[in-house]
Amino acid sequence: IKTLDVDGAGKCEMAWFEQEVDHFAWEPVNGSTTWEHRYFLCEPKDTKKPANGAPRPIFFYCGNEANVELYVNNTGLMWENAGDMGALMIFAEHRYYGESWPFGTEAASTKREHLKFLTHEQALADYAHLILYLKDRLSLRDSPVVAFGGSYGGMLAAWFRQKYPHIVSGAIAASAPVLAFGSWDDTSYWAAVTRDFSPAGGCSPGCAEAIRAAWTPLFSRGSTPAGRAELSRVFGMCAPLQTATDVDHLAQMVAMALDTLAMGNFPYPSSYLSDPSSPLPAWPVREVCKRMDAAAAGDELSLLAALRDGSAVLYNASKTLRCLEIPHDQSYAGIWDYQFCTQALPQESYFGRTGDKDMFYPFRKSKGDVDKHCLHKYGVVPSRGWIEESYGGVDGLMQSSNIVLSNGGMDPWSSGGVNTSLSESVVSLWVPEGAHHLDLFFSREEDPPSVRAVRKAEVEAIRQWVGQAPDVAKG
């Protein structure tokens, strides 16, 4: 049995649960209807009895598009408060990620005919079945459940509360772009990335302008064989740039690096968005801007070298990279690309850029281009209106209750989030200095006061939902 010791906060035991391959049909798939779903059952180091004589609560993490151990080891908001509230913690892995493969292996599960079972509805049904099973097995039938999640996991937490309110008493949905659908302006995402590289993000006034200025010499050189050879040398490419398309891919690679650094613009070193052995520095965007600010004025090669060195804050965080290789996957999404190609779950590599609202260059994938890509790769086209039809956007949230939606001023995904409270119990919390779901992480000395205040508000909401608030005792 695999166990995890989480930063001295407590221990987890890995377990498996027999889930349905398809919760919404009755016929066997390949002769079987079930698969083994991985989850972790976790106990904090010191657990008190629940206040007010309330039943023991369950804190449930809605796993998203990665190995669930990433969230087990980083979701400090759960670990730091579970003991005080006497809560049991469950971290569930999302189907088709980590080790949770409905057809046994990654190769078998990602065959085109098997991918149709990768939907967020199937994942939520997995979570509902798992919770009901554990409540029965552990004699916790009366236990209130609080869903937690960040990013896509935050979307799942909010939707879990909307779709299964009889199972989930409340949801902490951090950095959840639940409004990034339909008529939402996707160029606002890259404008939000740009904000991190401005004085509002703690950078010099010239940083974003220097990045914007670097694209012109990059693309002009990319239009000729001699220019591409020069770019290959400046960027230290593993393979020479042969075509203008190769240069487009290099530009996209740099843009995605700057995007990831904005998401990971935390006030302390962190490996959450990088290789665990090579953490990003504190405030990594400011490190990029130091390099851009050092470029010689009017020197195009110096500007391009600064852009290279800026993207290396991510790509060469280990400082051992010998050359730069363009990823084969131009979606930068892995299997998440299928979720974009079916239910239009947001993926920034497809979002438009203007070159004036942001520090990048004009970029737009047409609906036809996207459909062609999705048809070629998966045999599907996106159902672009499905999420809004299913959950109703703002209107749907206003009909719900007990959802906290937190966002950060440093996080590009805040552009697709709920940034205004919708009712007394569907509440928006704002972290001005917060990058991607900073509030979910373990408390650190470097945390800004704003995230401390948001965590306090989140804990107060959770206490209300699980019947442990001081005013409940008085009433």
Residues assigned a catalytic role: 151, 411, 436
Residue 348, both tokens: 């920034």
Q: Are strands 426-431 and 170-174 parallel, antiparallel or unpaired?
A: unpaired
Q: Cα(404)–Cα(338) distance, rounded to whole angstroms?
A: 28
On the CB side of 267, CA atoms within 13 Å amount to 21
Alpha carbon distances (Å) from 5 to 8, 14, 134: 6, 12, 22
What is the rounded CA–CA span in Å between residue 357 and residue 350? 17
Number of other CB atoms surrounding residue 300 within 10 Å: 18
Cα gap 450→170, rounded to integer Å: 22
Strand order in the sheet with 426-431: 3-5, 10-20, 34-44, 88-92, 58-62, 145-150, 170-174, 403-408, 426-431
Question: What six digits make up the tokens of 461?
Answer: 């909401």
Question: Which residues are CB-contacts of 231 (< 8 A; sequence separation ≥ 6)?
Answer: 218, 221, 222, 237, 241, 247, 250, 304
List the beta bridge partners of residue 35.
Answer: 19
Residue ranges of alpha helices (H) inside 281-404 are 284-293, 300-315, 336-343, 367-378, 386-391, 393-398
| Closest C-alpha to 241, from 251, 228, 252 | 228
3-class SS string, 244-289: HHHHHHHHHHHHHHHHHHHHCCCCCCECCCCCCCCCECCCHHHHHH
Residue 226's CB: how many other CB atoms inside 10 A?
8
CA atoms within 13 A on the CB side of 278: 12
